[in-house]
Structure 1
Amino acid sequence: MSTSTSPSTVTTSVVATASPPPAPTRPPTSSPAVSASPGEPAPASPTVIATAPSSHRIPPPADVTDGGPLRSLVLRALGTHCEVRYAPPSDAVATVFERDVRAWVERFEARYSRFRAESIVSRINAAAGSWVEIDAETEQMLDICASLHALTGGILDVTAGSLLRLWNFRTPLPQVPVPATVAAVRASVGWPKVERDAGRVRLRAGMALDFGGWGKEWAVDLVAELARQAGVRDALIDFGHDIRVLGTPPGRPAWHIGLEDPQSPGQHRGSIALPAGRGVASSGDYIRQFTFAGRRYGHIVDPRDGYPVAHGLRQVTVIAENCFMAGVLSTTAFVLGPRAGLEFIQRFPGAEALLVTENDRAQTRGFWNYVVT
């Protein structure tokens, strides 16, 4: 059986290009392998920011509006609804491709979900304070964590798992922890505190890893690579509204993606046309949230202070060269806030974004090139 691309074959830094490596050849037996190194891309030329009245907003991707002779693979994975719409060259290719996608996604989740008791992440978390042996694949995932932590100034921090457990937005009755508890848990967070040696890793007591900050978007791009390897030229991969497209839908010049209104979840308002190869992801706090003592708490927690983000942003949508990069930028910008978030995105050539606040919006000028309605 073949495995994923080895680090030696990946010569470009994920942080520099945000481009995922080739996916494993069929049948997939491992999660993505990639060499990553800390660093920052050179600042792009300044992008002109346009603003418009809040009565006209373009929110994040919500649904696909194209029709046509497409097959659809639907599964529940990674805590969300996942769908792959594609045009297979033959029924035989479709059968093998769908089998491989299911197998790869199941294995990826089984290895890297903190909600799977037997996952490598759960084993590392349970053994906090002790060394845990890991394979090369997991080492490479941790390399990516190091790169993202450096790139985002600590906003994307895989060690924030303990904070996410503390706030626990998945419970029916979430509670606001007292400041002393937040401070105590926050003290355990911080990628530089992770100890690594060849083939093993050790967390400090109280630490916990969580790949939820970028794992789903990474999976979307790897499924896109599986599609390419299978000979599928036209596809849309949508995992919980994080999307990557290949080619075009039959009879259409681009994939049209419906956009959800953050002020009215479940309602669409406008759409974008996503050309071949692009990815789109959004970050927002209008779905998973609760109100306590008159204050709204969203599920996106800033690991730098331990509290849910609260600066008026409702949603950030980013279109980029792939879904992984779109997700990295949207999450980071959401935590940074409207002005700093836009400035961060402007450093990445080719990335376009829309930021929606409670009363207004701002977007890069290039975002309008994708808007069709």
Structure 2
Amino acid sequence: MNETRSVRIEPGGDGFVARFTAMASPCEVLVDGADRTELRRLGELAAAEVWRIEQHWSRYLPGNIVDRINRAQGAAITVDAETARFLDYAQQLHELSEGLFDVTSGVLRRAWRFDGSDRVPTPSQIEALLPLVGWQKLHWQSPQLQMPAGMEIDFGGIGKEYAVDRACALLAAQTSHAVLVNCGGDLAASGPRAQGQDWRVGIDSGLGASSSLIRLRQGGVATSGDAHRFLLKDGQRYPHILNPRTGWPVPGGPRSVTVAGSSCTEAGVLSTLAMLQGEQAEHFLQQFSGDFQVIW
């Protein structure tokens, strides 16, 4: 069996944890009070759901719906019901964020390679790509999507968080035990542990700052930051989260933002939007209920 498509049951915490790999991230499933047999069953269900979503929407995999949309060259594409709901959500986020959250901005990766080097693109390279960015340039009338040739959609900003929420909800319907699903540090919990105990979630920004704990009873946690994806030139650091209006990172922003919200998807959106607020990141998050951590 391909290692990337296997589920391993390993010691972890005060019991066992189911581990697998998806979306280029280590993933794990914890089921409070489950025996090893039930943990394996639930871990395999969670992994199958995350792998399904990855196969369906990853921009790296040929032949899926995202690939067909991005290769349509101006033709209208009819999408499935789940993708239609996701596109509706993307449209809502674009409107609510006044254009800061835009699933068409992935095309900017043609100029940006966040590999820790000093290869910062030129202004002319960015300017050449901006005509290919902008949700308002698409024609979306469910279930048909049509966009100008050369444009692309990329669900990378919300796909992993959605997969976490879906897997967590799937397992919650299969067991009376509390469940926590974690993919690369983005996670969701179905409810409190036995005797009403919170899940204790360690937050490590990867930036050398001391780790801290978030106590989570139910909902999701997500982190956005530039610990691993950035460029550094002439003493200036360029984080990987780009403003779709300008094609450039927002100056003066935090290095890392972690948010606990009602779902992993919500937490992921808020952490990304906070990064895009630059120096106003903390002020932005204070508008919302839930815990957050901002590291500058």
TM range (shorter): 0.7 to 0.9
Counterparts of 2:241 and 2:61, CA distance in 1: 21
For 1:185-232, what per-residue CA distance to the aligned partner results, in whole angstroms no more than 9, with x for missing partners? 012111111112343211212211111111111111111101111114
Match of 2:152 among 192, 208, 216: 208
Match of 2:212 among 254, 270, 273: 270
Shift in alpha-carbon separation, 1:263–1:93, aligned structure 2, 3 A: closer
Shift in alpha-carbon separation, 1:261–1:144, aligned structure 2, 3 A: closer
Amino acid at match of 1:299: H
Report the counterpart of residue 48 of structure 1 in structure 2.
none
Of 86-95 and 216-225, deviating more is 86-95
For 1:300-358, what per-residue CA distance to the aligned partner results, in whole angstroms no more than 9, with x for missing partners? 1111110123214111111111211111111101111232x33432333x22322221x
Match of 1:132 among 77, 80, 83: 77
Report the counterpart of residue 9 of structure 2 in structure 1.
none
Counterparts of 1:90 and 1:262, CA distance in 2: 33
Match of 2:166 among 185, 200, 222: 222
Report the counterpart of residue 355 of structure 1 in structure 2.
294
For 1:243-294, what per-residue CA distance to the aligned partner results, in whole angstroms no more than 9, with x for missing partners? 2123344578211122225541xx75332222x2132111111221121233
Amino acid at match of 2:89: I
Amino acid at match of 1:134: V
Report the counterpart of residue 233 of structure 2 in structure 1.
292
* Superposition map of 1:1-373 within 5 A: 67-69=13-15, 71-87=16-32, 89=34, 93-169=38-114, 175-249=119-193, 253-264=197-208, 268-274=210-216, 276-339=217-280, 341-348=281-288, 350-357=289-296
CA contact under 8 A between 1:290 and 1:297: conserved in structure 2? yes
Question: Structure 2: which 5+ residue stretches go unaligned?
Answer: 1-11
Counterparts of 2:155 and 2:195, CA distance in 1: 38
CA contact under 8 A between 1:128 and 1:208: conserved in structure 2? no
**How far apart are 1:90 and its partner, in Å?**
5.5
TM-score (norm 1): 0.70
Shift in alpha-carbon separation, 1:67–1:223, aligned structure 2, 3 A: same
Of 247-256 and 189-198, deviating more is 247-256
For 1:94-143, what per-residue CA distance to the aligned partner results, in whole angstroms no more than 9, with x for missing partners? 44323322221111001111011122111111113222221222111100
For 1:80-104, what per-residue CA distance to the aligned partner results, in whole angstroms no more than 9, with x for missing partners? 1111111365666444323322221
Shift in alpha-carbon separation, 1:218–1:198, aligned structure 2, 3 A: closer
Counterparts of 2:73 and 2:250, CA distance in 1: 27
**How far apart are 1:175 and its partner, in Å?**
2.7
**Equivalent pairs, count:** 285
CA contact under 8 A between 1:157 and 1:191: conserved in structure 2? yes
Counterparts of 1:243 and 1:126, CA distance in 2: 32
Report the counterpart of residue 43 of structure 1 in structure 2.
none
Question: Structure 1: which 5+ residue stretches go unaligned?
Answer: 1-65, 358-373
User: Relative CO higher for 1 or 2, CA cutoff 8 Å, sep ≥ 6?
Assistant: 1
% identical equivalent positions: 35
Give the SS at the match of 2:111.
helix
Aligned residues: CA RMSD: 2.3
TM-score (norm 2): 0.87
CA contact under 8 A between 2:103 and 2:155: conserved in structure 1? yes
Amino acid at match of 2:99: G
